[in-house]
Amino acid sequence: MKIAFTTKGSTWDSKMDPRFGRTEYILIYDDEKDKFSVFDNRENSNEAYGAGPLTAQKLFELNPDVLITGNGPGGNAATVLGKSDMKIYIGASDLCVKEAFEAYQKGELEEF
């Protein structure tokens, strides 16, 4: 299963980015292969307009099964994400990636 996180860095210890559209990185964790891949989202996050939908489009392409984030996507981004089947969990704002994953596994995060 592929799990995506909105993050401020590229490791297990990085802090989660509470924002969706302007998140700095998207971390994808493949739990079957126990492997990470990172997408640098800073170009999208720097756009004056449309950061939300652009980031959502990227997620659409990366096609994870689950997305874990902080505050949740805004209206436009949510519309784009709705076109895919990924499940979205919010409430991980102040955690680091490792803690966010554990919270998800324990069912402590809210489904969007």
Partner 1 sequence: MTEIVLISGKGGTGKTSIAAAFSYLAGQDIVLADCDVDAADLHLLMQPDFNIAQNFYSGHIAEVNADICNQCGRCVEVCRFGAITVMNGQYGVEHLNCEGCGYCSRICPTNAIMMKNQNVGKWFISNTRLGSSMVHACLGIGAENSGKLVAQVKKEAKRIAGELHRDFVLVDGSPGIGCPVISSLSGSDFVVLITEPTVSGLHDLKRVFEMVKKFHIRAACIINKFDLNLKITSEIEDFLKQENIIHLVNIAFDDSFTKAMIKGQTVVEFSQRNFQQILTESWEKIKKITKTGGKKE
Partner 2 sequence: MDSCRLALISATIKGINMKIAIASGKGGTGKTTISTNLASYFAEIRKVVLTDLDVEEPNSVLFFKCEHVRDEDKFKMIPKWEGECSLCGLCQEVCNFHAVLQLGRQIMIFPELCHSCYACSELCPDSALPMTPQKIGILRHFQNNRLSIVESRLDIGQEQVTPLIAQTKKYIDDYFPKDFIKIYDSPPGTSCPVIEAIKDADYVILVTEPTPFGLHDLKIAVETVRYLNKKFGVVINRNGVGNADVTKFCHNKNIPILAKIPNDRQIAELYSRGKLIYTKIPEVKQQLVCIENHLHGFLDRDEL
Q: Please name which of 66, 52, 57 lies closest in space to residue 23, comparing C-alpha atoms.
A: 52
Cβ-based nearer residue to partner 1, 22 or 58: 22
Q: How far apart are CA 20 and CA 12, in angstroms?
A: 18
The secondary element (H helix, E strand) that includes residue 98 is helix 97-105
Radius of gyration of the chain (CA): 12
The footprint of partner 1 (CB under 8 A) covers 18-19, 22, 48-49, 71, 74, 94
Please choose which of partner 1, partner 2, none residue 60 contacts, taking the beta carbon within 5 to 8 angstroms, the exact cut-off set by kind: partner 2
Cβ-based nearer residue to partner 1, 1 or 48: 48
Q: How far apart are CA 62 and CA 24, in angstroms?
A: 16
Question: Hey, which residues between 42 and 101 contact partner 2 (CB under 8 A)?
Answer: 47, 49-51, 53-54, 57, 60, 76, 79-80, 83
Q: Please name which of 13, 34, 105 lies closest in space to residue 68, comparing C-alpha atoms.
A: 105
Please choose which of partner 2, partner 1, none residue 9 contacts, taking the beta carbon within 5 to 8 angstroms, the exact cut-off set by kind: none
Residue ranges in contact with partner 2 by CB under 8 A: 47, 49-51, 53-54, 57, 60, 76, 79-80, 83
